[in-house]
Amino acid sequence: MARIVYGFSGEGSGHSSRAREMFTHLIAAGHTVRGVSYDRGYRNLAADFDVFETEGLHITSVENRVSVVKTFTDNLRRLSDGVRKLRELRAQLFDDFAPQLVITDFEPMTAYLAQHHDLPLVSLDNQHRMRYMRYPVPSRLKKDALVTETVIRALVPRPDVSLVTTFWFGDVTNERTFLFPPILRRAVHELRPSTGDHVLVYFTQAFEGFLESLRDAPREHFVVYGAPREGRQGNLEFKPFSRQGFLDDLASAKAVVATAGFTLMTEALHLGKPYLALPMRGQFEQELNALLLDELGYGRNGGDAGRDVLGDFLYRVPDYAQRLEDYPRGDNSAITGRLDDLLADECAEARAFHERRRRRSQAPS
């Protein structure tokens, strides 16, 4: 059995949701796992698993648009704590624990320390599809695609193996990248979807402007999560966050309107829910998710959301629902099985990938 350091981003809840499923599987298989995360990722898993709290990158948005200035200043304030945490992480988890392998779900400190300690590194996330998978991209977003690929390379410089989750399956660009269906929480697999009379609305940041568009559809009942209020206001019903309450409303919704985050989108698609994606402007991955969703016919790319976009989406909900009947649903067994193979015999296959990559990097050009 292997000793594993598993880093996962603390931005949003998707990374920690995926990590929870992987931690549970790895520990049940007899491996020793030490986690590394920050903010929401740390808070979501620290009570149930051995997780080291570090510092990480944060994206700040205003009205569903990434704020470059606020993102830069917020992260700059954390710089000194980040250096201190990096020293503690290296001493406690890499020197003392002596891992045999590192898994990173878009967490850069563990990725860089794996390289420093010459350890096999497995990336397990949805970000690496933008680095190692071919996908359609319009000309207006080609520059953003290139910048995003550069950022991914900077944060996770040299993964030996990439296990990529995706709902769009394009060609991969190397022999060490493997594509899998999205990892879903056990709680989502256990849901029994139905079609109620409400549309679920979810925001991760303040997005007051779009609420006016919802009010302009008075015949619809919108259940809204993520807004800083509670109670009924006309056709809008604002609810405080409750994990089970949210899942119940998701399972019984007739459609979903939300930002274009990967996790909620893929959970909704698994449950057969047509999706109006409102990508956060300035965040290429969300732009891509919305584009691919639209291309597959599972919902609508909201873009610059407004009344016309919402009305068109609601009109076409039956068409999207019919298309979703053929959505490829499955469990997490494919990706956990591939991970088991990499870890077998004291990580023999993962070490082989690592050695091949290292030989290629040392070969004369």
Same fold, 3-183+332-362 and 187-324: yes
Q: Looking at residue 52, what is its pLDDT?
A: 94
Q: In sequence order, what E strands does the chain have?
A: 3-8, 32-37, 51-53, 61-62, 65-66, 101-105, 121-125, 161-165, 177-180, 198-202, 221-225, 231-233, 236-239, 255-259, 275-278, 299-301
Residue 17, judged by CB atoms within 10 A of its CB (0-12, 13-18, 19+), counts as buried
For domain 187-324, say whether CATH 3.40.50.2000 is its number.
yes
Q: What's the CA gap between 256 and 307, in Å, rounded?
A: 16
Q: Looking at residue 70, what is its pLDDT?
A: 41
Amino acid at 182: P
CA atoms within 13 A on the CB side of 175: 5
User: Could you report the per-residue pLDDT of 189-224, keeping only the tens digit for each?
Assistant: 999 999 999 999 998 765 677 888 899 888 999 999
Q: Looking at residue 365, what is its pLDDT?
A: 55
Q: What's the CA gap between 270 and 273, in Å, rounded?
A: 8
Q: What is the mean pLDDT of each successive set of 10 residues along the chain, which is 365 residues long? A: 95 90 98 95 96 71 41 42 76 92 94 93 97 96 92 90 97 97 95 97 76 89 92 94 94 96 96 95 91 97 77 96 94 96 97 92 69
Structural domain spans, the chain: 3-183+332-362, 187-324
User: Could you report the per-residue pLDDT of 60-92, keeping only the tens digit for each?
Assistant: 444 444 433 343 334 344 444 556 777 888 888
Q: Looking at residue 81, what is its pLDDT?
A: 57
3-state DSSP assignment of residue 205 = coil
Q: State which CATH number among 3.40.50.880, 3.40.220.10, 3.40.50.2000, 3.30.460.10 fits the domain covering 3-183+332-362.
A: 3.40.50.2000
